Structure 1
């Protein structure tokens, strides 16, 4: 006998999650509406082909970020199926549009707990993802901007001073010591498993893949806004320009998702290949495409994970019915 699936009152946790999504979507819509005139004029200069390529590349980049986080979480002892990992990561990441830095990690900790991931492990994976992306982003920016032209990186060489520090911090022995110290100060239990070099390398590999995809998304936009740079150099420049502007934006943690800071940095970095008006249009179009990508990934991941759970429940119920029918036949005999 199976119990009917039905509604009932929403639990406080479900109400809280719905409220989180509504607030995050509200701030995301506000970020778009506040610059809509400039954004719409920029999009008017883009072909549908360039826009489609940009969106596809952004989705690939966001997926690379999810796999970076997933690799760290798995190395810490909580491997998740891709569907479930995508739901936790992408839905949680919507919190970055809310002012403050705690919302994404709180959301990931809450959703991860439903999948058996300890909160301390979710928090560790979240905070480790940031320096992995920052360190890999600065390295990618240095390599690609130098390849595109030495003058492109010269004004921002000071940012590269962080690379040696991040390289030290990304050494697993150092990371494990820092995490252990932090947990002791917070009077929390230590992590069951320490981060390994293999796990760190896997995370760095996915992060590098994400930067390349982000560069392709920006190149598709720049190519339509008046840049005359040859294709390969434009791609290399775009990868470095996006990585550098993202890193500068993420250093300003008081602004939701680096809003404003990343765009200002991108306009400055794009000055060698675009005039100021086109650079502003490129920065704003890039931001809107990324917001759209965040929403698309979160929606698809949540829907896919929900269908997976529903299918598993149906299979379990069908299995239960078959067991009861077999028991009834045996009793009849």
Structure 2
């Protein structure tokens, strides 16, 4: 095992260890928090997560189209959602490798798939930090205080995502890798379109957490403030989790961050229940989207049989 692999495993073990210890310490409160949730709220949360994941897919699809490889929604969904399952495997390369290989089958150059993949993350992070700043400052200013340093990344990401800057960065990276340059440069219109889909996804993520929080006994927030707080809390915890990219899908880290961000409105036990429920819903959403997209793409690719298949030879005579 390499040193890098050992560090990844060690970090994951520490993150999950702290999470398990927190759950065990607050076990009674965690159980009480779970008991407050209804199956209806969980199902509504799953629906919101599926919509949010769709926003992420459309963000990636918009970038890929701007680079010169527009894909139909069904094919784009299959490549994106099935490829995203690789994030649950330790290591950061599996999703991009899967998307590169599946995209190649559809005529998408590997360099374009890689560029779209690596651009999706900073766009989502920029949108997430922006959403967190606006919503948490509106709904619960105390919640964002300890994490104000993360907001310093917003102007940095804004500069990096300027098309002239990012095109230069991509060009340099491809030259260092001795790869051919991209055929088409990113445009401001394409980047803004991708950011728009990303913001729509964050709104749906906020609804998924708001549904869970609404039944968890959260204090001090309700109605529109509850939705705003939930949106900011999820966006901030997601961004903090993704910064620790050494663990698969931010496992454990996102939950610890979410419990901390929720502390102004929930005690630790119920907050742990909310964070764990959110994680379960997200995994279910990933699996449902990947399975549905794969089946839809397969059915679209199957040749039509029956009377119509018999009609072709007769028309050809």
Instruction: Please give the TM-score of this superposition, normalised by the length of structure 1.
Output: 0.84
In structure 2, the CA distance between the partners of 1:114 and 1:317, relative to structure 1 (3 Å rule), is: farther
Q: Which residue of 1 aligns with 2:285?
A: 293
CA distance in 2, matches of 1:87, 1:191: 24
Confirm or deny: 8 A CA contact 2:78 2:290 kept in the other structure: yes
Task: List alignment gaps of at least 5 residues for structure 2.
Answer: 1-15
Task: List alignment gaps of at least 5 residues for structure 1.
Answer: 1-30, 329-333
Q: Does 1:325 align with 2:314?
A: yes
Q: Which residue of 2 aligns with 1:314?
A: 304
CA distance in 1, matches of 2:237, 2:225: 18
How many angstroms does 1:48 deviate by? 1.9
Aligned residues: 293
1:204 to 195, 208, 218: 195
How many angstroms does 1:53 deviate by? 1.3
Confirm or deny: 8 A CA contact 1:98 1:256 kept in the other structure: yes
CA distance in 1, matches of 2:308, 2:71: 25
How many angstroms does 1:315 deviate by? 6.8
CA distance in 2, matches of 1:201, 1:44: 42
CA distance in 1, matches of 2:315, 2:45: 55
How many angstroms does 1:151 deviate by? 1.4
CA distance in 2, matches of 1:71, 1:323: 37
Confirm or deny: 8 A CA contact 2:237 2:258 kept in the other structure: yes
How many angstroms does 1:223 deviate by? 1.1
Confirm or deny: 8 A CA contact 2:88 2:248 kept in the other structure: yes
How many angstroms does 1:322 deviate by? 3.7
Confirm or deny: 8 A CA contact 2:133 2:151 kept in the other structure: yes
How many angstroms does 1:314 deviate by? 2.3
Q: Which residue of 1 aligns with 2:45?
A: 54
1:193 to 168, 171, 184: 184
The SS at the match of 1:153 is helix
CA distance in 1, matches of 2:275, 2:85: 20
Q: Does 1:251 align with 2:240?
A: no
How many angstroms does 1:284 deviate by? 0.5
CA distance in 1, matches of 2:191, 2:164: 11
Rg (Cα) greater in structure: 1
Confirm or deny: 8 A CA contact 1:250 1:257 kept in the other structure: yes
Greater RCO (CA < 8 Å, at least 6 residues apart): 2
How many angstroms does 1:227 deviate by? 1.1
1:72 to 60, 63, 70: 63
How many angstroms does 1:75 deviate by? 0.4
